[in-house]
């Protein structure tokens, strides 16, 4: 639904983006992450046909991004929407619907959109009176006005309070269940962690990591073993199997050569009658992974 193949953009002698390839499928939310200047905005511009690539290709629903028809069935919400303050919410959504569909939007439909994005506004209330959070919701409603199949969202929870962020997150998950393909930029890594299936991490215009969240945050084969009765004898036997054994609260942290030996760990605990309480994988947070990559460390 959203595809980049070897995508790159150069401004003068500087490459803002180089050799980026990825795709977003139906019913999938993909997070586009990176510090300021990493190439996220350039990527969005190329996908929407607002800039021409220096190299590679971009597609929306298998149509080249350079083709204006590619934006049929696509919705976009910017990070900092500039709303025409003289319009009411209905007037704003009606304007977007006329641009997308060539027909007016009923007031019932605009009211339904407002409800869906959690926007409580009076019918005649002008956009100039909207708070930043209300403006963000209005921009999201405009992105949905033509019932798009693909969505590109730039910081969709920016300016929202914790309740608002959860409401938007729930909406994105509902849209995913409807089969929408969603690409979202965000600096709120905790938000990405709760709703994205995969992430793309950019640094200095290059893709430095990509994958499913569980793949990126898993720390090799490290497990936490919690037992009812720790002992030096147990630790010594575990050390014969594990690559490393570290004492931890209620047990041990084990670096194992692979998942296949996990049943053997349980067997060792049983032989020592230590009382197995839990055996769980140790993971990093997405924030941990992100900071390691930005510092040049291996994730």
pTM above 0.85, yes or no: no
Q: Which residue has the tokens 């930043």?
A: 132
Cβ atoms of 136 and 80 within 8 Å: the answer is no
DSSP 8-state class, residue 83: -
106-130 in b/e form (b: 16+ CB < 10 A) is eeeebbebbebbbbebeeeebbeeb
Q: What is the pLDDT of residues 174-203, one digit of tens each?
A: 999 999 999 999 888 888 888 999 999 999
Domains annotated for the chain, with CATH where assigned, are 2-215 (3.40.50.300), 217-287 (3.30.70)
Strand 218-227 relative to strand 276-283, pairing: antiparallel
Q: What is the pLDDT of residues 134-154, one digit of tens each?
A: 899 999 999 999 999 999 999
The overall average pLDDT reported for the chain is: 90
Q: What is the pLDDT of residues 267-289, one digit of tens each?
A: 999 999 999 999 988 877 788 88
């Amino acid at each position: 639904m959203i595809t980049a193949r070897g995508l790159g953009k150069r401004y003068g002698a500087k490459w803002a983006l180089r050799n980026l390839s990825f795709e977003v499928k139906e019913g999938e939310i993909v997070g586009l992450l990176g510090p300021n200047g990493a190439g996220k905005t350039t990527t969005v511009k190329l996908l929407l046909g607002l800039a021409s690539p220096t190299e590679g290709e971009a597609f929306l629903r298998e149509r080249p991004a350079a083709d204006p028809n590619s934006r049929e069935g696509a919705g976009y919400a910017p990070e900092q929407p500039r709303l025409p303050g003289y319009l009411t919410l209905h007037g704003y959504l009606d304007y977007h619907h006329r641009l997308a569909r060539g027909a007016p939007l009923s007031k019932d439909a605009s009211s339904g959109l407002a409800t869906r994005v959690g926007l409580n506004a009076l019918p005649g209330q002008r956009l100039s009176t909207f708070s930043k959070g209300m403006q963000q919701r209005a921009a999201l409603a405009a992105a949905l006005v033509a019932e798009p199949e693909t969505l590109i969202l730039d910081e969709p929870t920016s300016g929202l309070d914790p309740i608002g962020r959860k409401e938007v997150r729930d909406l994105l998950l509902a849209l995913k269940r409807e089969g929408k393909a969603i690409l979202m930029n965000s600096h709120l890594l905790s938000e990405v962690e709760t709703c994205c299936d995969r992430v793309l991490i950019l640094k200095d215009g290059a893709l430095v990591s990509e994958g499913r969240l569980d793949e990126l945050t898993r720390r090799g084969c490290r497990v936490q073993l919690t037992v009812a009765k720790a002992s030096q004898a147990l630790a010594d036997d575990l050390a014969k199997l594990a690559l490393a054994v570290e004492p931890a609260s209620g047990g041990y942290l084990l670096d194992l050569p692979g998942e296949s030996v996990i049943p053997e760990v349980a067997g060792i605990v049983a032989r020592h009658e230590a009382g197995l309480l839990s055996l769980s994988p140790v993971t990093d947070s997405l924030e941990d992974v992100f900071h390691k990559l930005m510092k040049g460390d291996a994730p």
